[in-house]
Structure 1
Amino acid sequence: MKESMSFSGNLEQDTSRFLRLHHCPHTAGHCLKVGYEAERLAARFGGDPDSARAAGFLHDISTIIPNQDRIRAAWELNIDVLPEEAAFPMIIHQKLSRTIARDVFGIENIAVLDAIECHTTLKASSTVLDRIVFIADKIEWDQAGRPLYLTELLEQLDVSLEHGVFVYIDYLWSRREQLKVVHPWLAEAHAELSVMLGV
């Protein structure tokens, strides 16, 4: 992967070029939007804007690996594969993105790597940076149309970052019977936030 292009050291340019080189222009645009939204949220909620922006730029970098190849790639990279991820390979892209960010882009900041790794599901004992990148990804929705949860999520962000995060976590939790799988990290994050917020 690394041999496929020269790296400038400018993360915005490099992530965008890398994704476009691997025929993922839609993801390139999405990652830039998430990076800048994460930077804004970090400034608002006391996070580190540089780390948030970097994690946002890289969070979906593993889109270059086709869905049908992701579990095999995870095994080859010695990534722990949970049963839920084996059943629904799309969801392991967050772990693959962490590895690509580290091994291809040279990211050494553990907080950034951790935020990338849980940007889809969140996890228990999440940090402010984890929550910022998680919620930036949900605000900058990469599918067609306006997501049903967005208005409430933005309103609850005026209460706190955690209230905003919980809107999306609870949105998924209330629809868990319709989900392909319920990732254990999501279940743990929902339980923890429910107690934290007293809901």
Structure 2
Amino acid sequence: MKKIEELSGCLEQDVSIVLDRYHKEKTKEHVFQVAKKSVALARQFHVDERICFEAALLHDISAIVSPLEMLEIANEYGLLLDPAEKKYPFLLHQRISVIFAKEFFNIDDEDVLSAIGCHTTLKAHPSVYDMIVFLADKIAWDQQGEPPYLAMLEKDLEISLQKACFDFIEMQWKEGRLLYPHQWIKEAYADLQEYMNHCSE
């Protein structure tokens, strides 16, 4: 695993320095946009802004290594791989970012680590922080322009985080964007569907 240089202890500054050092300017712009949106959602839903901010800053920190290196790190740490991760090792980046957050940035807050670790796929029984970072990552996406689903998510977020997450995953499925669904997103979808059904009763 790559060794990250000595850090100052100021997370915002250190993330910026590391991503600059590895020439990840696009990733840096993305994570700071996700952090901004995560804090806004934390305020909207009256939860801890620090947790959302820290998780968002570190959610893509593993971008400093290649997908092949992510696979090597996963094997080194004995992670059980989902078939989707074996086929598309980039999907490991959420879990490798957790390792980097703990090993190099001394993050031990389980809420922060959980939100980092499922920001791409979500998972069953997600916490409010998991859902906020998941959605902020999709809203502040790393492509040009506004995401085509932005209006849908903004409307959903007036109702609940759960509805926004459910509708996003369902849209991905219906549009065939999930070429090889990770088990976690299947479980998240089933869990959220049960939640939505219960709410409509």
Q: TM-score range by the shorter chain?
A: over 0.9
Q: Post-superposition shift, 1:68?
A: 2.8
- 1:196 paired with 2:179, answer no
Amino acid at match of 2:21: L
Q: Distance in 2 between matches of 1:130 and 1:170?
A: 18
Give the equivalent residue in structure 2 for 1:10.
10
Q: Distance in 2 between matches of 1:3 and 1:73?
A: 13
Q: Distance in 1 between matches of 2:114 and 2:101?
A: 11
Q: Distance in 2 between matches of 1:180 and 1:163?
A: 23
TM-score by length of 1: 0.93
Q: CA RMSD in A?
A: 1.6
Give the equivalent residue in structure 1 for 2:166.
166
Task: State the Cα deviation string for residues 19-66 of structure 1 (Å, max 9, x = none).
Answer: 110111110111111112111111111221001000000000001111
Equivalences for residues 73-92 of structure 1 within 5 A: 73-92=73-92
Q: Distance in 2 between matches of 1:175 and 1:68?
A: 28
Give the equivalent residue in structure 2 for 1:106.
106
**122-131 or 4-13, larger mean C-alpha shift:** 4-13
Task: State the Cα deviation string for residues 93-123 of structure 1 (Å, max 9, x = none).
Answer: 0000000000010001011101100000000
Q: Post-superposition shift, 1:78?
A: 2.4
**CA separation of 1:99/1:190 partners in 2, compared to 1, >3 Å: closer, same or farther?**
same
Percent identity over the alignment? Answer: 39
Q: Distance in 1 between matches of 2:37 and 2:74?
A: 29
Q: Distance in 1 between matches of 2:149 and 2:48?
A: 26
Give the equivalent residue in structure 1 for 2:47.
47
Q: Distance in 1 between matches of 2:68 and 2:174?
A: 28
**CA separation of 1:3/1:73 partners in 2, compared to 1, >3 Å: closer, same or farther?**
closer
Give the equivalent residue in structure 2 for 1:119.
119
TM-score by length of 2: 0.93
Task: State the Cα deviation string for residues 137-171 of structure 1 (Å, max 9, x = none).
Answer: 01101112322211111111111121122221111
Q: Distance in 2 between matches of 1:160 and 1:180?
A: 27
Q: Distance in 2 between matches of 1:93 and 1:183?
A: 13
Amino acid at match of 1:167: D
- 1:71 paired with 2:71, answer yes
Runs of 4+ in 1 over 3 A off after TM superposition: 1-4
8 Å CA contact retained: 1:88, 1:180: no
Q: Distance in 1 between matches of 2:24 and 2:116?
A: 18
Please give the secondary structure, in 1, of the residue aligned with 2:105.
coil
8 Å CA contact retained: 2:15, 2:58: yes
Aligned length: 198
